[in-house]
């Protein structure tokens, strides 16, 4: 029996307000083809189905369309909720989906037995059991009645995660003895490498769970929450599949993948790389370097490549700010879009207390402060005159407005 492990779909995700709907549609196209060619019988999605707890109607439609397409492949689907998901929202159609051989567990149920899902072969024999544990929220993991300090709370969170995985193992062992067992989880395991797009579990990374505490019962643990594909050191195979698409510019160099398992040997999953549908490009350097890179940003992909620009200069220069804005406004290269830009000057302007160490700000006139700031800039006489004129006009407008308000 073959199983496919994926996670962190984040349906509805926007990157710097840029919609990634097409990226996910292309991933589902590829996933459906992969399920057919690899003869996948069970699909595991370990949390963060949606990017927001209250997803848009468009995101919900995309979710249900994807489920319908996957269901047509006669593949058993098991999805769990993540920290981005609303348990109530995911659980709402759970009974209907279960009739279609799809199991959705949005949050920890009242009975842990409801997380234990037997997988049968064509002869109706149980050949595999899945302990589908969703994201365990703080309310699930500690006794709210106890008045504890911060360190005690962290320890309770870790102990709670440990408890539920042990209980799930006991249930699998008791109800399905001698049957292979796989666990699902959505958490931050100690030692995992993260990216910018992830939110830390519970109270920051200090609540990281030691993967050695998973024990030795499960033959494989399919994790979600961390977007970077990786294996975690433990007594059993513990893997993050990673997110299927790039969700932040910090993930631009990640090789996105899914993991394929075979019940003949669950300890060695097959790594199957997902095609790159669009590039995320980060262009940084001086104004001249950025202009050079913008002329030839790279390979054209199926979807527009998204560009983040960071101009790095030694000294503050208003002309270079204007020049960068003009470059961005005039940029029109098919297959590429600039979605964010920022500017950093190594030698930032000093604040007022450094310029006037022996004076208070209220003792200075606006013109005094402005003149001192101008002395730090390397302007030619024409530019200096223009800046001074513009400042004086603004100052006059400000005083005029204040006088009118008093009248």
Q: What is the pLDDT of residues 220-279, one digit of tens each?
A: 999 999 999 999 999 999 999 999 999 999 999 999 999 999 999 999 999 999 999 999
Provide the pLDDT confidence category of residue 392 given band limits of 50, 70 and 90: confident
Token pair listed for 376 = 């730090």
- Token pair 């993260």: residue: 194
Task: Tell me the two tokens of residue 357.
Answer: 């160490």
Task: Give the dihedral of Cα atoms 240, 243, 248, 250; nearest 10 deg.
Answer: 30
Q: How far apart are CA 349 and CA 257, in angstroms?
A: 45
> CA-CA distance, 48 to 82, in Å (whole number)?
4
Best CATH choice for the domain 278-348 from the list 3.30.700.30, 3.40.640.10, 2.40.30.10, 3.30.160.720: 3.30.160.720
Residue closest to 70 by CA, chosen among 93, 102, 47 = 102
- The domains spanning 2-273 and 278-348 adopt the same CATH topology: no
Q: Burial, 331: exposed, middle or buried (Cβ in 10 Å; 0-12, 13-18, 19+)?
A: middle
Residue indicated by tokens 């995985």: 165
Q: What is the chain's percent helix, strand, coil content, to nearest 5?
A: 35, 25, 40
Task: Report pLDDT digits (tens) over 63-108.
Answer: 999 999 999 998 999 999 999 999 999 999 989 998 888 999 999 9
Which among 235, 203, 201 has a CA at the least distance from the CA of 219?
235
Domain 2-273 CATH assignment equals 3.60.21.10 = yes
Q: How far apart are CA 372 and CA 297, in angstroms?
A: 40
pLDDT at 45: 98
Q: What is the mean pLDDT of residues 304-323?
A: 91
> What are the extents of the domains in the chain?
2-273, 278-348, 361-407
Is pTM, for the whole model, over 0.85? no
The token duo for 184 is: 């699902």
User: Which residue bears the tokens 């513009």?
Assistant: 390
- What pLDDT, on the 0 to 100 scale, is given for residue 351? 55
């Amino acid at each position: 029996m073959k199983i496919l492990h994926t996670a962190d779909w984040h349906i509805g995700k926007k990157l710097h307000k840029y919609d990634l709907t097409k990226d996910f549609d292309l991933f589902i196209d590829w996933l459906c083809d992969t399920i057919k060619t690899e003869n996948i019988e069970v699909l595991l999605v370990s949390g963060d189905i949606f990017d927001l707890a209250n997803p848009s109607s468009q995101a919900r439609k995309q979710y249900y369309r994807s489920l319908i397409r996957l269901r047509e492949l006669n593949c058993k689907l098991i999805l769990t909720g993540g920290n981005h998901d609303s348990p109530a929202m995911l659980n709402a159609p759970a009974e209907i989906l279960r009739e279609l051989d799809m199991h959705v567990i949005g949050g920890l149920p009242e009975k842990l037995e409801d997380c234990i899902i037997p997988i049968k072969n064509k002869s109706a024999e149980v050949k595999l059991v899945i302990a589908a544990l969703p994201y365990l929220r703080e309310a699930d993991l500690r006794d709210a009645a106890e008045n504890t300090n911060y360190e005690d709370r962290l320890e309770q969170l870790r102990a709670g995660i440990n408890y539920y995985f042990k209980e799930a193992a006991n249930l699998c062992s008791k109800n399905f003895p001698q049957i292979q067992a796989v666990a699902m989880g959505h958490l931050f395991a100690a030692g995992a490498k993260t990216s910018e797009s992830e939110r830390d579990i519970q109270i920051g990374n200090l609540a990281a769970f030691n993967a050695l505490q998973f024990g030795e019962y499960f033959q494989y643990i399919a994790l979600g929450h961390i977007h970077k594909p990786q294996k975690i050191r433990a007594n059993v195979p513990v893997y993050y599949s990673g997110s299927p698409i790039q969700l932040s510019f910090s993930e631009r160099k990640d090789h996105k993948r899914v993991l394929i398992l075979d019940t003949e040997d669950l300890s060695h999953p097959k790594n199957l790389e997902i095609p790159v549908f669009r590039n995320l490009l980060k262009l940084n350097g001086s104004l001249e370097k950025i202009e050079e890179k913008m002329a030839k940003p790279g390979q054209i992909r199926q979807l527009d490549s998204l560009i983040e620009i960071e101009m790095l200069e030694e000294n503050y220069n208003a002309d270079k700010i204007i020049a960068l804005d003009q470059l961005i406004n005039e940029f029109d290269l098919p297959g590429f879009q600039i979605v964010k830009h920022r500017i950093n000057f190594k030698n930032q302007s000093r604040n007022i207390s450094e310029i006037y160490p022996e004076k208070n700000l209220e003792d200075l006139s606006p013109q005094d402060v402005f003149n001192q700031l101008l002395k730090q800039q390397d302007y030619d006489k024409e530019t200096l005159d223009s800046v001074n004129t513009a400042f004086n006009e603004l100052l006059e407008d400000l005083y005029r407005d204040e006088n009118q308000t008093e009248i």
